Structure 1
Amino acid sequence: MTTQITATDLRAFTEDWLDWYRAQEERLAGPHGFLAITGLHWLDDRPRRFPDAPGAWSTAADGVTVALDDGEELVVEGSPVRGEHHFGVIPERGGVDAVWGDAVIEVAKRGGNDIVRPRHPDAPLRAAFAGTPAYAPHPRWVSKGRYVAFDEPRPTTVGAAVEGLEHVYDAPGRIEFELDGRALSLTAFPGHGAGRLMVLFTDSTSGVTTYAANRALTVDAPAADGSVVVDFNRAVNLPCAYTDLATCPLPPAENRLPVAIEAGQKIPRERGGA
């Protein structure tokens, strides 16, 4: 982008970024957002009860089952359930939210494992949340790039915030761009929404001013000519930056950028950030 930025341009750019930032924080700190998680429970074939969810939970080849005691009830897809309830096979990175009073019991699959992850609005982490530190936004961290599709999606295995866990993504291509005159590229994974892309990355600020393990960036669907906009001002922390009760993926090795991206979200206060 041009370096000729007027005060009016910068003010408008900042106001637009602030709208995005506030929406991001609202989602994170919502009543059933990631800050509301109180436990990460890994299921197996032995029915087990947990202190922050009703019922005894187990999983088998036909999927997840909960056995509710008398007086216990969940609401699944708008319908109350009692006794034994089968959630069926949960797809990888999929999940079902079961309502329990003012809490939500997330039933999901991560790294091939079925999990139960209760979310309570009064969770201490959510109650104490005071916002995420971030760099002041600036257009210098916006780059026009090019999306290069692979001949076919490449299965890409990455590590996770949970030791021993792995995630596999079908990477559809890479994003090539320049920053301060330096040619860089990032392997892209499918994002949320038609054609959108998601990149996981680290850079020279990781572990210094930004979260050490990862940050994520959403890129809108490429134009017909493959052009994309890479805006590092909107680099976000994944849930593992705030809580150990998350299974976030780590970036592939080629996404460790050899530059300092002094933009986007910083180390959360929950992890000792300023």
Structure 2
Amino acid sequence: MSITDAKQDFETWHAAREQDLGTAYGWLSIVAFDWLPTTAIALQGLPGKWWADDERAYVRAEGELTLGGEPVHGETSASVAEAGSLSWLLYGDRLAELVLRGGRYAVRQRDPRASTRRGFSGVPTYPVTPDWVVTAYYTPYSQPSRVEVSTARSDLRQHVTAVGTVHVALGGSAYELVATAAGGGRLALSFHDKTNGEETAPWRTVTTGAVEKDGSVLIDFNRTINLPFAFTAYGTCPAPVHGNRLGLPVTAGEKKVR
């Protein structure tokens, strides 16, 4: 692929990503995040009383909330898998999304009128260059391993499922990054590098190509992206596994949104 074709391919891909970010209930629409206690409380921005136990989340309302288009009168409840989410209830066009993080239920509110969505003008990126397209090698674990990591929230730790390590040479140094599965035979690599905090978010992630039979895998760092916490104060994104740190500035992919 020529440099011109590669840049056009990247621009098409990144335009689709920005369009996805800007959808009515995308990551730019999040306006609140509240842990649910065991006793019923009111949540700012939503009617009703909300609470949770170890198994389910509950709300008691008087018709202001809707579930599947029908008003909620009285009590209703729902559950969701760990690290999952459920588009649960609507208050007008404001969505009450149920999430389970670290064994605790929370409600995340998404509003199409959020200022972060209305003011979105795109995600800046570094110039595309073939220098950041590299071949690495993957060593799978004998079995997946659960690893505890910190997150974008100081009050939350989560587990990720590590499937192996990716060995990559950059800037004259060799690195070993812990990988998680990304579907379609691909791998996800969350990492820190020396651009973090100044030019980029505190950490970023890149999805590799499919692993080949010989264990080789293509990494296009031009497609390094920000995780949701880079766009909203209400993100719960897992941080990289300890040790996933590149000792050079990765001047490729998405920059910090200012």
The bucket for the TM-score relative to the shorter chain is: over 0.9
The unaligned stretches of length 5 or more in structure 1 are: 1-7, 270-274
Structure 1 Cα separation of the partners of residues 142 and 211 of structure 2:
16
Give me the TM-score of the superposition, normalised by structure 2. Answer: 0.93
Structure 2 Cα separation of the partners of residues 57 and 86 of structure 1:
10
Correspondence for 2:67 among 64, 71, 75: 75
Correspondence for 1:41 among 6, 21, 34: 34
> In the TM superposition, what is the alpha-carbon distance from 1:98 to its structure 2 partner?
2.4
Pair 1:121 & 2:112 matched? yes
Partner-residue secondary structure (3-state), 1:185: strand
Q: Give the root-mean-square deviation of aligned CA atoms.
A: 1.7
Pair 1:27 & 2:17 matched? no
Structure 2 counterpart of 1:10: 3
Structure 2 Cα separation of the partners of residues 81 and 45 of structure 1:
24
**Pair 1:135–1:112, CA change in 2 (3 A):** same
Structure 1 Cα separation of the partners of residues 123 and 20 of structure 2:
12
Structure 2 Cα separation of the partners of residues 86 and 220 of structure 1:
41
The unaligned stretches of length 5 or more in structure 2 are: none
| Map 1:170-189 → 2, pairs under 5 A | 170-189=161-180
Structure 2 Cα separation of the partners of residues 64 and 99 of structure 1:
12
> In the TM superposition, what is the alpha-carbon distance from 1:11 to its structure 2 partner?
1.0
Q: Percent identity of the aligned residues?
A: 34
Correspondence for 1:263 among 245, 252, 255: 252
Give me the TM-score of the superposition, normalised by structure 1. Answer: 0.88
Structure 2 Cα separation of the partners of residues 257 and 250 of structure 1:
14
State whether residues 128 and 222 of structure 2, in contact with CA within 8 Å, keep that contact through their aligned partners in structure 1. yes
Partner-residue secondary structure (3-state), 1:38: strand
Amino acid at match of 1:203: D
Partner-residue secondary structure (3-state), 1:35: helix
Structure 2 Cα separation of the partners of residues 66 and 222 of structure 1:
45
- As a proportion of its length, which structure holds more strand? 2
> In the TM superposition, what is the alpha-carbon distance from 1:214 to its structure 2 partner?
0.9
Partner-residue secondary structure (3-state), 2:13: helix
Number of corresponding residues: 256
> In the TM superposition, what is the alpha-carbon distance from 1:180 to its structure 2 partner?
4.0
